[in-house]
Amino acid sequence: MFDIKLGLKVLRENVKVAPETPGVYRMLDENGAVLYVGKAKNIKKRIVAYTRIEQLTIRLQRMVAEVRKMEFIIVENENRALIVENELIKKLHPKYNILLKDDKSYPHLMLNLHDEYPALRKFRGNRSGQCRYFGPYASATAVNEVMDVIQKIFMLRSCRDNVFHNRERPCLLYQIKRCSGPCVGKISQEDYAQLVKEVIAFLEGKNTSIQEELSRKMQQASDNEDFEQAIVLRERIKALTGIQTHANLEYSGLKSVDIIGIALKEDWFCIEVFFIRGGQNCGNAPYFVKRAEEASAAEVLDAFLSTFYANHLAPKEIFVSENLDNAELLEDALGVKIRTFSKGDKYKLVENAKKNALAAIERKLAENRSIKANLEEMRRYFDLPKLPERIEIYDNSHNQGTYAVGAMVVATPEGFDKKSYRTFNIKDRTITNDDFAMMKEVLKRRFDRMAPDNRPDVILLDGGLGQLHAVHESLSGYDLSGISIIAISKGVDRNAGKEFYHQLGKESFALPYRSSIAFYLQTLRDEAHRFAIGTHRKRRAKSMTKSSLDDIEGIGAKRKKDLLNHFGSVAAIKDASVEDIAKVVGINKKTAENIYNYFHK
């Protein structure tokens, strides 16, 4: 029920009891449903702001009109408020919060400074306190390019620890001057530690001091008539100079900055983030969000920063295109400086981010229009009851019955929804050579877990009439109302574009050759095929790295790693005595006996 006078009365009553500390507040309606979750440096002041109704947007006025109760959570600081707010928004999905999807994971570079000879590695996932991280990089390509440059200039090792500890002679990377050879003592620990310091300086943008140091060392090597070392140093200087030549001067003074611009078009916001680290552009990424009623760019950007930096490492500075009401709270919570500009070079960088955001929206809208046109055609050709909102495409993959998997991909009017993709390892090993039986198992498992919010409008199968009948048979006990099942079979000469389409009770047909709708359905089928093949290959590759140690009771990942690092191979472990096995750190006598008995039973 909407009653703005009653809502204001509730807010004013809560002002009297609200704490003047950092925290999180919840606004609830008459049924106890959460309308809004917010954070504040001073909760009382924030609620007072909501009582100035004439300064609120229509959307927030409507929210105030529904408020019947408020709840507060006091926290120790702004950072904790940010975390609690994000947790509650994800859990409760409040009606008036701007809900942003942040399911991207960005690669970083990582150095474990606790190792004697730290290796430079690519990294995704949860960060550990004992490692040093650099990034993020917007793509795997960007991080690979930096890795390649660092190998050329600094020659840090990139091998795995078990390879490093068991090498007896240098690898090819050492021969081509891409590694300094610490595995076989070609460089001292002190000199290698100096290389690590230079890498850190390079990734922090301190290139000039590195070049000066390399030039000094080259001259010293030349004076000592160590011309081979002088040539190696010269090549490192040349590689570093090449990097500086191609660097963008506009970013040269920026050490750790995210540049963020936001644009709006046709009820879609796009937030474009440029990652600048050490004076280098590490790439950019767009985020899209459907506009809530009259939500402003500043409001959306505020919500984005809260969500994004709750999951990603924050830089030292954030340049934004809008003035934010919560800027001070976000600065305290994230430990960053949030800045806006009205002129100058940095203003131009933010404006460029806004232009990129607008261009990204225009591309997305064009793609959406194309998809919508294809969905309209699909509805017409297949006599669908409505425009499909969720299409599920299924395929199987196996190698002569081994590593059999089923795959499901999901397409929506906004494109492929990769977060909804699913894989199914075939459980019944007696059917792994039978595509029809595998598809039956996959669809049955899918429908056993189906919920109202993930019910498909269309199921698309890679197969012919046999697959179609098998699926209808397996789903006969389920409610299929409103779900259309379509099978695609290879056409004449297995030619793409000449496929036949099958529906139960209807005559099979082919779509117009090279039509837009034919290409669209081929794309859906090919994506399912790609995903199924990729999943099958990963499963097969994983099985190839499986060790007989995995079957020994009491041997987990860490002990297996310790054993292999100590002995070098499973064959050497098999030949070892109980006493030799017990010498491995972390392996007691009982475990050593288990290992010995396993190989000698």
> Tens digit of pLDDT for each residue in 12-65?
999 999 999 999 999 999 999 999 999 988 999 999 999 998 888 888 899 999
Distance CA 250, CA 134 (A): 21
pLDDT at 525: 92
Q: Helix H segments across 342-497?
A: 345-381, 435-448, 465-474
What mean pLDDT, rounded, does the chain reach? 86
pLDDT digits (tens, 9 = 90+) for 450-460: 888 899 999 99
CATH code at 391-542: 3.30.420.340
| Same fold flag, 256-362 and 391-542 | yes
Query: Residue 532: what pLDDT?
Result: 92
Of 389, 373, 382, 527, the C-alpha closest to 462 is 527
Position 2 confidence tier, pLDDT thresholds 50, 70, 90: confident
Single-letter amino acid code for the residue at 367: E
Mean pLDDT for 291-314 is: 84
Model pLDDT, residue 573: 86
pLDDT tens per residue, range 397-440: 988 888 889 999 999 998 899 889 999 998 888 888 888 899 99
In sequence order, what are the beta bridge partners of 28? 34, 69
Quick: pLDDT tens for 219-247: 777 777 777 777 777 776 666 665 554 45
159-166 long-range Cβ contacts below 8 angstroms, 24+ apart: 159/119, 159/183, 160/119, 161/115, 161/119, 161/561, 161/565, 162/561, 162/564, 162/565, 164/117, 164/119, 165/565, 166/565, 166/568
pLDDT of 503: 93
Cβ neighbour number for residue 332 with a 10 Å cutoff: 16
Annotated domain spans of the chain:
4-92, 108-251, 256-362, 391-542, 548-599
Selection from 275, 310, 270, 240 nearest residue 139 by Cα? 275
pTM: 0.69
Backbone φ and ψ of 193, nearest 5°: -60, -35
Please spell the DSSP secondary structure of 130-195, one letter per residue: TEEEE---SSHHHHHHHHHHHHHHT----S-HHHHHH-SS--HHHHTTS---GGGTSS-HHHHHHH
Identify the CA nearest to 280 among candidates 145, 148, 155.
145
Query: Residue 101 has what pLDDT?
Result: 67
Q: Measured in Å, how far apart are the chain's first and last C-alpha atoms?
A: 75
Question: What does residue 560 show for φ and ψ, rounded to 5 degrees?
Answer: -60, -45
Token match 């999905």: residue?
A: 93
Buried b (16+ CB within 10 A) or exposed e, 202-215: bbebebeebbeebe
Distance CA 294, CA 299 (A): 10
Instruction: Report the 10 Å Cβ neighbour count for 107.
Output: 22
pLDDT given at position 495: 59
pLDDT in the model for residue 528: 93
Give the mean pLDDT of 2-19. Answer: 91
> For residues 422 and 446, is the Cβ–Cβ distance under 8 A?
yes
| Whether the predicted pLDDT of 569 surpasses 80 | no
Q: How much is the pLDDT for 442?
A: 92
Alpha-carbon distances of 594 from 136, 572, 577, 587, rounded to whole Å: 44, 16, 12, 10
Looking at the chain, how many residues does it have?
601
Print the SS3 string covering 230-246. HHHHHHHHHHHHHHHHH
Buried b (16+ CB within 10 A) or exposed e, 131-160: bbebbbbbeeebbeebbebbbbbbbbbbbe
pLDDT in tens, 133-162: 887 888 888 888 888 888 888 888 888 887
Per CATH, which fold does 548-599 belong to?
DNA polymerase; domain 1 (1.10.150)
Q: What is the pLDDT of residues 246-255, one digit of tens each?
A: 455 677 778 8
**In this structure, are residues 158 and 173 in contact, taking their beta carbons and an 8 Å threshold?**
yes
HSE on the CB side for 314, CA within 13 Å? Answer: 21
Which CATH number applies to 256-362?
A: 3.30.420.340
pLDDT tens digits for range 487-511: 998 876 655 667 899 999 899 998 9
Q: What CATH architecture is 4-92? A: 3-Layer(aba) Sandwich (3.40)
Q: Following CA atoms 191, 195, 198, 199 in sequence, which dihedral angle do they give, to the nearest 10 degrees?
A: -160
Q: How far apart are CA 319 and CA 330, in angstroms?
A: 13
| CA pair distance 518, 292, nearest whole angstrom | 35
Half-sphere exposure of 482 (CA within 13 A, CB side): 10
> Are the CB atoms for 212 and 244 separated by under 8 Å?
no
